[in-house]
């Protein structure tokens, strides 16, 4: 229940970031047109696809946790026999790939003279995507704790499964927020 209440506050936080973005965009439409032309939509779409697919691997881990299967029961290649840990490893790798991809995108945009202090577009872009990136990083840290907990306990119980479910709520939330950000920042002209 606490996770859901906390995610409600996160909805308000990101609503504020969306409001900042739309307000600044409405005051400088010419600037937005010029700066959004510098975005690499294909690169961002691939990065977005990686993050969205990580929700599916996260959910597969939750299904395994609900079966009280912490680790795989077959070989590494038998993904249908993976436990929560293996699915969360893949989710972690995909989330980390997204964050690294975002860092490379930032480096590219800085070379295009779009920085946090360059103009209102740069400020809005980096604040909205940066806070999202911090949330993804927070989710990655939470995955480490949930995976570590699975190794630390003698018996994987409903208590550990509940932790996996709670982190999945957060991870799905972060993915949905990114879909909104991607649509607003990269697709909405």
pLDDT tens sequence across 55-108:
999 999 999 999 999 999 988 889 989 999 999 999 999 999 999 999 999 999
Q: What is the pLDDT of residues 97-153, one digit of tens each?
A: 999 999 999 999 999 999 999 999 999 999 999 999 999 999 999 999 999 999 999
2 by Cβ neighbours in 10 Å (0-12 / 13-18 / 19+) ranks as: exposed
61 by Cβ neighbours in 10 Å (0-12 / 13-18 / 19+) ranks as: buried
**Residue-wise burial string across 11-50, b where 16 or more C-beta atoms lie within 10 A, e elsewhere:** eeebeebeeebeebbeeeeeebeebbeebeeeebeebbeb
Instruction: Tell me if the pTM is above 0.95.
Output: no
For residue 74, give both structure tokens: 């077959």
Phi-psi region of 61 (alpha: psi -120 to 50; beta: other; left: phi over 0): alpha
Is 86:71 a contact under the CB 8 Å cutoff? yes
Gap between the terminal Cα atoms of the chain: 38
In whole angstroms, what is the distance from residue 143 CA to residue 138 CA? 9
Q: Is 119 helix (H, G, I), strand (E, B) or coil?
A: coil
For residue 123, give both structure tokens: 């400020």
Q: What is the pLDDT of residues 149-184, one digit of tens each?
A: 999 999 999 999 999 999 999 999 999 999 999 999
The CA–CA distances, whole Å, from 179 to 1, 122, 140 equal: 25, 20, 18
In whole angstroms, what is the distance from residue 178 CA to residue 129 CA? 8
Domains present along the chain, CATH in parentheses: 2-187 (1.20.120.80)
Q: What is the pLDDT of residues 2-30, one digit of tens each?
A: 778 888 899 999 999 999 999 999 999 99
């Amino acid at each position: 229940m606490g996770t859901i209440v906390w995610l409600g506050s996160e909805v308000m936080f990101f609503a504020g970031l969306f409001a900042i973005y739309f307000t600044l965009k409405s005051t400088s439409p010419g600037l937005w047109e010029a700066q959004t032309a510098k975005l690499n939509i294909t690169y961002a779409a691939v990065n977005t696809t990686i993050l969205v697919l990580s929700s599916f691997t996260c959910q597969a881990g939750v299904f395994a946790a609900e079966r009280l299967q912490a680790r795989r029961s077959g070989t590494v290649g038998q993904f249908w026999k993976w436990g929560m840990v293996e699915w969360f490893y893949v989710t972690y790798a995909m989330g980390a790939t997204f964050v690294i991809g975002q860092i490379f995108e930032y480096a590219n945009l800085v070379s295009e003279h779009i920085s946090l202090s360059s103009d209102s577009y740069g400020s809005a872009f980096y604040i909205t995507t940066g806070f999202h990136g911090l949330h993804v990083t927070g989710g990655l840290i939470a995955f480490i704790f949930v995976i570590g907990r699975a190794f630390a306990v003698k018996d994987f119980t409903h208590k550990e499964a509940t932790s996996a479910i709670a982190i999945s709520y957060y991870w799905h939330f972060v993915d949905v927020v990114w879909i909104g950000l991607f649509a607003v920042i990269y697709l909405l002209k």
